[in-house]
Structure 1
Amino acid sequence: MSEIVIYGKPTCPHTKRALAAHPEARFVDILASEANMEEMLRLSDGQRRIPVIVEDGRVCVGFRRGS
C-alpha cells in the first residue's frame, strides 16, 4: 500500500474532508513550519491552494467531493 500525504491547514474544511476520505494519510500542517509550506509549494508548482495530496508520486491540488 502506498503512502498518501496531505498538506494543508487543520482548520481548512477542504483539508478536513480530504483527511476524512483518506484516514490512513499522513497529515502535514503547512502552518507548523516554513519548511512544510515550502515543500507544499514545491509540490504544487507554487499554487497556494490546499489541500495538496500526494499519492504514488502524483500530486493533486485541491479536493472535490468524491476525489
Structure 2
Amino acid sequence: MYERIIAKSEEDDGDFFKKLVKKNCKLKEERYKEMCGLIRRKNELLEEKLKQNQEIITLLGKLVKN
C-alpha cells in the first residue's frame, strides 16, 4: 500500500515539474517576443532620428555654402 502511495507521489512530482517547465518555457517565449518587439521599436526610432539628423546636416551644409 505504501509503495503505491510513494509511486503516486513521484508521478505527481513528475507532473508538477513538467507543468512548471512548460510554464517557464511559455513565460520565456513571451518575454523573448516582447523584447524583440521593444528592440524593433527602438531600431525604428533610431532610424527616424538618423534621418532627421541627416536632414539637419544637409540644411546646415546649404547654409554654410551661402
User: Shorter-normalised TM-score: what interval?
Assistant: under 0.3
TM-score w.r.t. the length of structure 1 is 0.20
Q: Which has the higher contact order (CA 8 A, sep 6+)?
A: 1
Give the structure with the larger strand fraction: 1
TM-score under structure 2 length normalisation: 0.20
The answer to which structure has the higher helix fraction is: 2
